[in-house]
Structure 1
Amino acid sequence: MTSLTCPVKVTRDELFCSRKKYPLSCTAKTQGNTVMSSHRVSVSTLVQIIEELESEEEEVILFACRDIASNTNLRELLSEVNEGTSHPVILELLYLLKRFDLIKKHFKISKLEVERLLKIHPRTISDYRYLIIELNEAIEEDELKSLMFLLKNELRNGGKLKNQTFLSLIVELEKNQLVMPSDLDLLEKLFQTIHRVDLKKKILKLQETGIIQGGPYINALPATASLHRISSSACSNTIPQIGAASNKGTTPVQDTLSQVGEHDERYLVRKQNMGFCVIIDCVGNDAEMLQLLFRSLHFIVQCHWYKKVDEVKEILQDVANMEQHKIHDVFLCVIISRGNSDSLFCLDEKSPGLSLDRIKNTFTGQTCPNLRGKPKLFFIQNYLVCDLEKRQRESAVEVDGPREDAACRQWVQNQSRIPNEADIFWSHCRVDELELQRSSGSTSLYLRSLRDLLNDKRIRKQRDLLNIHTELNHIIYTKQAGYALQLRHTLTKKLFLYPA
C-alpha cells in the first residue's frame, strides 16, 4: 500500500528550484508519446470523473479540499479547484484516491508520471489531510464506534453524525477546535485508548519531521491557549515511553514505577496515559469550564448535561466497564447536582436519589479491577434542597485518612494487599440550593477555585493533591460564602497532577 503521508519525497530546495525550472505548461513523455500535463481538465472530463467516483471517494475529496475550497457540492468544488489554482489538483486527488485507472483513462499518463508531476508542482493538499485520510483507511468499524462513544459528549447532537465515518468525525472535531494541524494530542490519546498505538505512532512520526504546521486553515479556528497542545519537542520526549510499552501499547503500572523518582511515595502519572475524566452537570453552570481544565491537564474528558438518576447510574456503570482504564494512570469524576447529605437528585424531583456511596462503590478495586492501585478522584458539588440539611451541614473542614470501614481495617492488617476502598480521593462540597437563585448562571465557588489552583502549573508541580486541597479549604472558608467542604481519602501515596 502506498503511503499517503509522503507519496513523493522532495526537499525544500528542490521545490524552490522546480518552480523556476519547469513552467506549468511542461510536457510529460511516456512511451514515446508526448502528453500535455496541464493542471486543468475540460468540463466534460470532470463530469466523467465525478460519475466514476464512489461515495466514499467523494467524501475523501471533500475532506482533502477543506483548506483550499469552500464548496461542499462535489462538482462545484472540483470546478473551483480546477479553475482556481495553478497546481494539478485533480491529478493529485486521483492519486490520493489511488484511482490510477482514471488517471490512465483521462490523462493518458502512468503513476510514475503523476509522481513526477507532484514533485515538479508541490502538493496542494496539506500533509495533515494526507495523514487523516491514511488513518481513515486504517480504522475498523468497531474502533470507530469506540471513538464515537468516547467523544459523544464533545460533539454537537451527542455525536450523532449524518455520516458515521471517521472523516465526518474529524470534521466535527475540527469545528469544535479539538483537532487541527498544530494540535493532534486528542487523536493520540484516543488511539492509545482503543489500543491502536500503530496509528498514534504515525502521528508522532510525522510530527517529528516538522512538516505538519499551522498554516492556512479556513474551516477551523485556532485552538485557544486553554486547550491541550503538543509540540514536536514534546513528541520526541515521549517516544521512549511509547517504545517501552507492550505490544498492546500499554505499560503495566508495576513495570514502570522505576521510571519515576520517589516511586515508593508518589503515584505514577504520565502525560500520554494521564487518565479518563467524566463530568456530569445536572445544573448546567460548570461543565464547560471543567472540560477545558481537565483537557488541558491531558485527561480524556466526557461530559454529560441534565441527566436523571437512572441515566447517571448507567453512565457511571458504562465508564466503570471501560477497558481503557488499563492504560490510564488516574480516574476522575465530577458531579454537580441538587441533593441531600446522602444522595444526589440529578433531574429527578420525586426519587430517593443517587446514593453517594453507590457512586464511589462503582469504581472500587473490586467492582472496577482495571483501576485497582490507581488514584480515583471524585469532586462533588451538592446543592442542598432542604433547610434542615442546611442547618445540619458541617461548618468545619473534615479531613480524614483511610476510613475505618471493613476494607480499610483489612488494609491496616495486611498492607501488602491493596483494599477495594484504597486510592480514593473524595472531595464533597455542600451549599444551599438558594445559592443558585442568588447567582443564576454563575459557576460554583468551589469548582471555580479548584480550576484556578489546578490551572497553575507551578502549584501542580510543587504540591501534591492533598496540599492543593488544603489551599482550596482556605479559599472556601475565607470567602465565608456558605459553602461547606468535606474531604475523605484513602490515598496511599502522594498524587501530583503533573506528568512525569
Structure 2
Amino acid sequence: MADKVLEKIRIQLRDGLSEPVIKCLLDDLREKNVLNTGEIEEIVQKTKTRTDQARDLIDCVKRKGMKASEILLKCLEKRDEYLYKSLNIDSHSEIPETGVTSSNIGLHKTSATDEPSNADEEYKMDSNPHGLCVIINNENFEDPDNKRHGSQNDVDSLKDLFEDLGFLVKIKKDQTASDIKQLMIKYSKDRRHADCFVCCVLSHGDETGVLGVDEEICPVNAITSPFDGVNCPSLIGKPKVFFIQACRGHKMQSKVLAADGPGASHMQKSGNVSYSIPKDSDFLIAMSTVEGYVSIRGKNSGSWFIQSLCKHLKRGSKRGQDILRILTKVNNKVSQKEGIVKINDVKMDAKMTPQPLFTLRKLLVFRAPKAAASK
C-alpha cells in the first residue's frame, strides 16, 4: 500500500525534498483536497527548517491513509522525477503480504527523459517567438561611485540565452525609478505577448525595492503587478518570470566551514530589496539573494547569480528540465562559490544564496524553437 511505501522511504524522502518541491507538492495536495489551508500553514511556518517542513508534510499525508499517500507519490514523480527515481519507489511498492504493486495503486514507471508525462502539466511553450524578454540594466547612477562594474557581462549572457530560447529580447539601460514603472506598464499592454513574459532587472536596491539611476526606489511590486490577471489579460494563465539581481540588505552570509576563497569579488554599495508577490497565479520571482543580505558581482565577470542562472538554464532547457529544478541547482552552485570582498578596507569572505518565489501552477520548461534547437 502507498502509505507503507511512504513509511519505508520516509527518511530518504525527507532529506531529498527541496524547498521549491515542497511548495509545489503543497499546492498539488491542496488542489486535490488532500490537505486543507490550515494544515499547509502549519507545515510551512517560518520558524521551521526545510527538514521540519518535509517531515511534517510526509507524516501529515501518511496519517491520512493509502489514497492520500498514493496522491503524494504521484505528485512527487511529477515535481521531482530525479528524486522519485533515486528513491526506487517502484521496487518499494511491491509488498508481498498484500500483493500490491506500483501498477495497481496507480503509480507508473517513468521514461528515462525529463519530459513530463502529461502535456497538461506543463505550460505551453511552442510559439515562435515565445514572447518578450525585457532586460533593465542600471549601470551608471547619479553618484559615480555607485557604478555597477561588470553588469554588461550579465546583459550579454541574458541576451544570448533568451534569444537562443526563442524570445524577443529588449534591453533598456540606465532607467530611473519612474522609467522602470512606466516601462512595465507599457510592456504589460504589448501585443506581442505569446507563451511567456520574462523580465530581468539588474540594479542596486534598498529595503523597499530596486534603485533607479536617479537614486529613487521602484518597489518590486510596481515591476510585477502590471502583469497580473487584472492588468494584463493577455498573460492570464501564462508564466510571468522575473529575475532580479540586486542586494537585499547589508549583511554578508556566514560560511559553515571557514576557508579562503580562490578569487575576489566586488560588492556594490547598495541596500536591501523587498518583494511583493501578487496573489494571482503563474508568477516566478527569482531573487539573487535572501532578504537581509548582499548580492555579489564581479567587476569583470558579472554577478554570481545571473552567470550561474544563464549557464544552468541553457544546459537544463536542452534536457527538458523545468525552471524550479534548474533554480534549485543554481542555488546549490552559487552557495558553493567562494570569494573575498572588501568593505570599508576590511576583507571578508563572500557567500550568498539566491531565493526563488513562485505561484506557478504547472511545470515551466523553456523550450527553444525547433529551428534553433536543431542548430
> Within 1, Cα distance between the matches of 2:119 and 2:164?
25
What is the CA deviation profile of residues 205-255 of structure 1, one whole-angstrom value per residue up to 9, with x for unaligned ones?
A: xxxxxxxxxxxxxxxxxxxxxxxxxxxxxxxxxxxxxxxxxxxxxxxxxxx
Following TM superposition, by how much is the alpha carbon of 1:499 offset from its aligned partner in structure 2, in angstroms? 4.8
Structure 1 residue aligned with 2:213: 347
> Given that residues 131 and 196 in structure 2 are in contact (C-alpha distance below 8 angstroms), is that contact kept between their aligned partners in structure 1?
yes
Q: Which 4+ runs in 1 deviate beyond 6 A?
A: 392-396
What is the CA deviation profile of residues 416-469 of structure 1, one whole-angstrom value per residue up to 9, with x for unaligned ones?
A: xxxxx1000110013637x45xx324311110011111222x654331111011
- Residue 488 in structure 1 maps to residue 350 in structure 2: no
Return the match for 1:475 from 324, 333, 336: 333
> Within 1, Cα distance between the matches of 2:176 and 2:190?
22
> Within 1, Cα distance between the matches of 2:314 and 2:212?
28
Task: Tell me the C-alpha RMSD between the 2 structures.
Answer: 2.9
Structure 1 residues 476 and 404 mapped into 2: Cα distance closer, same or farther (>3 Å)? Answer: closer
After TM superposition, the structure 1 = structure 2 runs for residues 172-321 of structure 1, keeping only pairs within 5 Å, are 262-283=118-139, 284-285=151-152, 286-321=154-189
Output the amino acid matched with 1:338.
H
Output the amino acid matched with 2:284.
F
Following TM superposition, by how much is the alpha carbon of 1:310 offset from its aligned partner in structure 2, in angstroms? 1.1
Structure 2 residue aligned with 1:192: none
TM-score (normalised: structure 2): 0.51
Return the match for 1:440 from 299, 303, 326: 299
Which deviates more from structure 2 when the two are superposed, residues 329-338 or residues 263-272? 263-272
Output the amino acid matched with 1:485.
P
> Given that residues 395 and 484 in structure 1 are in contact (C-alpha distance below 8 angstroms), is that contact kept between their aligned partners in structure 2?
no
Return the match for 1:498 from 359, 367, 370: 367
Output the amino acid matched with 2:123.
Y
Tell me the matched-pair count. Answer: 210
Output the amino acid matched with 2:246.
N
> Within 1, Cα distance between the matches of 2:213 and 2:198?
22
Following TM superposition, by how much is the alpha carbon of 1:482 offset from its aligned partner in structure 2, in angstroms? 2.6
> Within 2, Cα distance between the matches of 1:356 and 1:394?
26
Output the amino acid matched with 1:475.
K
Output the amino acid matched with 1:376.
K
Structure 2 residue aligned with 1:337: 203
Structure 1 residues 459 and 318 mapped into 2: Cα distance closer, same or farther (>3 Å)? Answer: closer
> Given that residues 253 and 352 in structure 2 are in contact (C-alpha distance below 8 angstroms), is that contact kept between their aligned partners in structure 1?
no
What is the CA deviation profile of residues 381-433 of structure 1, one whole-angstrom value per residue up to 9, with x for unaligned ones?
A: 0035xxxx22398999xxxxxx998x75xxxxxxxxxxxx1000110013637
Structure 2 residue aligned with 1:370: 234
- Residue 382 in structure 1 maps to residue 241 in structure 2: no
> Given that residues 460 and 496 in structure 1 are in contact (C-alpha distance below 8 angstroms), is that contact kept between their aligned partners in structure 2?
no
Which deviates more from structure 2 when the two are superposed, residues 266-275 or residues 370-379? 266-275
3-state SS of paired residue (1:487): strand
TM-score (normalised: structure 1): 0.39
**More contact order relative to length (CA 8 Å, sep ≥ 6):** 2
3-state SS of paired residue (2:200): strand
> Within 1, Cα distance between the matches of 2:126 and 2:210?
33
Following TM superposition, by how much is the alpha carbon of 1:342 offset from its aligned partner in structure 2, in angstroms? 2.8
> Given that residues 180 and 223 in structure 2 are in contact (C-alpha distance below 8 angstroms), is that contact kept between their aligned partners in structure 1?
no
Output the amino acid matched with 1:360.
T
> Within 2, Cα distance between the matches of 1:394 and 1:492?
34
Structure 2 residue aligned with 1:429: 288
Following TM superposition, by how much is the alpha carbon of 1:479 offset from its aligned partner in structure 2, in angstroms? 1.0
> Within 1, Cα distance between the matches of 2:252 and 2:236?
35
Structure 1 residue aligned with 2:37: none
After TM superposition, the structure 1 = structure 2 runs for residues 356-367 of structure 1, keeping only pairs within 5 Å, are 356-367=220-231
Structure 1 residue aligned with 2:321: 463
What is the CA deviation profile of residues 33-84 of structure 1, one whole-angstrom value per residue up to 9, with x for unaligned ones?
A: xxxxxxxxxxxxxxxxxxxxxxxxxxxxxxxxxxxxxxxxxxxxxxxxxxxx
Output the amino acid matched with 1:422.
S
More helix by percentage: 1
> Given that residues 265 and 493 in structure 1 are in contact (C-alpha distance below 8 angstroms), is that contact kept between their aligned partners in structure 2?
yes
Output the amino acid matched with 1:374.
K
Structure 2 residue aligned with 1:191: none
> Given that residues 376 and 424 in structure 1 are in contact (C-alpha distance below 8 angstroms), is that contact kept between their aligned partners in structure 2?
yes
> Given that residues 131 and 192 in structure 2 are in contact (C-alpha distance below 8 angstroms), is that contact kept between their aligned partners in structure 1?
no
Structure 1 residues 361 and 265 mapped into 2: Cα distance closer, same or farther (>3 Å)? Answer: same
Unpaired runs of at least 5, structure 1: 1-259, 397-402, 409-420
Q: Alignment identity in percent? A: 27
> Given that residues 125 and 365 in structure 2 are in contact (C-alpha distance below 8 angstroms), is that contact kept between their aligned partners in structure 1?
yes
Structure 1 residues 441 and 497 mapped into 2: Cα distance closer, same or farther (>3 Å)? Answer: same
